[in-house]
Amino acid sequence: MVGNVFTYATLGIDAIQLSVECDASGSTHNVNIVGMATRAVQESKDRIFAALRNSDVSIPTHHYTINLAPADIKKDSAALDLPVAIAVMQAIRQLPVQALNKTAIIGELSLDGTLRPINGALPIAIAAKRDGIRVLILPSENAEEAAIIDDIEVIGVTSLRETMSYIRGEIEIQPTEVDRERIFSVLNTFGVDMHDVRGQYQVKRALEVSAAGGHNLLMIGPPGSGKTMLARRVPTILPELNLEEALEATKIHSVAGFSKEFQNGILTTRPFRSPHHSCSDVALVGGGAFPKPGEVSLSHRGVLFLDELPEFKRVVLEVLRQPLEDGVVTISRATTSLTFPAEFMLIASMNPCPCGYYGSNIPNHECKCESGSIQRYRNRVSGPLLDRIDIHVEVPAVSYSDLTSLPVGDDSAEIRKRVNQARDIQVRRYQKDNIFCNSQMGSRLLRKYCHLDKESQNLMEDAIDRLGFSARVFDRILKVARTISDLEGRTDILAEDISEAIQYRTLDRKYWI
């Protein structure tokens, strides 16, 4: 008799269906796993048979051949333990094969037969529903995450023994149910607010413009000026995270093993990732022998914050160029090529000089950096990367009067309302152009949607001649000015929009050093 169990393995951020087959024959004990199983899966046979023995299963002496199909896909997951154990039980006629019709099983076993949680429960549940699976059996710790997907029964189990009893019909386990309305009611609930920030009115305005047009932004200011505090509040003013985006972002975190950190198993706010400047290029964009998503993909639909930008290794920053341009990360290996989504908003910060106090009026912190060292410090960030950042804004030190005053200005909800209105205008404008925000405009769309009157043209000409702006900077200014005009609900770009956009190009001014 051949045992046959359906299971799933994650490939990128999606899951594919596998079939676990087991044949028991002969009179010599041996276990052979075939079907492009990695060393980690090959070694699991000792763990699986120990779990069977410790679950009071009498194992006859046979040659066990376990096939993982399809055989052309490499398998590298301890989550195949439970389906292999169940297939073995079917092969020795201790479990019925027909009981698992339209059922998929997944889980990692301990030596005593208890189950450990797995990664990727959400994409597995999505794929199971797609493939017509009616029942999904998996570790109880993952049950709530998988149960977010409707039209599939999710059975959470704690051990191999309990799984066998359920399949035999000896016990009844109620499918896991979650209150989807309650879960989705807490979407976009934040613990921080822009109203918490004292002063920095110009920077908050720049962040509003950045959020409204999807523009990447760089903050330049001395230590303690509030750059990190401001960056952490950017998700609170971005358009609300809808259900589709929440599931899409949670899939990535689930595959990476971070979904256990989320209450109710789903991401309820836009991601905010802030990797340390010592991180590697693989940690930032993803990769490895079996590619996993990196920080840029974990920031999908949210914010990637790079604090102390010049302190990152040059090679690490350069790998950002593809995801910033294409919105995806493609990782190629000899046997496969995987694509991870990476549509994020980049917020970066840096000091104006190595000591951090160039141009500031903070007492007892006079900058003594030489012009050469300042230039070398700024040159750590390449021109091609800066070309992909639309807004550069100075963040001055906060004055005592601002620190001691009551909070003033709009809160995040009010700012987000204006951002949503501007985004709605852009969605309607670009519905035939396959983009959804101003930052994605190419040269053709700039000519189509960014007409300038005579006064605006004169202002741009003056900026290019006196401040030394390049043609690429000219395009960036037009994009930002288009967003400023959208925030004000205007159809045309006015000179005041151009003037404000020019202020957001700090690093491009010849006289800045």
Number of H helices, E strands in the chain: 22, 18
Which domains occur in the chain, in start order? 2-178 (3.30.230.10), 180-396 (3.40.50.300), 435-513 (1.10.8)
Name the CA dihedral angle for 408, 413, 414, 415, rounded to a multiple of 10 degrees: 90
Give the Cα separation of 227 and 241 in Å (integer). 24
* Predicted confidence (pLDDT) per residue in 275-299, tens digit: 999 999 999 999 887 788 999 999 9
Contacts of 95 (CB under 8 A, 6+ apart): 3, 86, 89, 164, 167, 168
* Predicted confidence (pLDDT) per residue in 186-206, tens digit: 667 788 889 888 888 899 999
Give the per-residue pLDDT at 65: 95
Instruction: Give the per-residue SS3 of 435-453.
Output: CCCHHHCCHHHHHHHCCEC
Spans in the chain with pLDDT lower than 70: 184, 186-187, 263-264, 334-335, 400-408, 508-513
Count CB atoms within 10 A of the CB of residue 491.
10
Give the Cα separation of 455 and 499 in Å (integer). 11
Give the per-residue pLDDT at 406: 62
Exposure string (b/e) for 452-475, b if CB count within 10 Å is 16 or more? beeebeebbeebeeeeebeeebeb
Contacts of 499 (CB under 8 A, 6+ apart): 459
Give the Cα separation of 198 and 213 in Å (integer). 24
H helices within 257-292, ranges in order? 281-285
Enclosing H/E stretch for 219: strand 217-220
Give the per-residue pLDDT at 513: 43
* Predicted confidence (pLDDT) per residue in 426-440, tens digit: 999 999 998 999 999
Q: At what angle do helices 81-91 and 160-168 cross, to 10 degrees?
A: 50
Give the per-residue pLDDT at 407: 64
Name the CA dihedral angle for 489, 492, 495, 496, rounded to a multiple of 10 degrees: 0
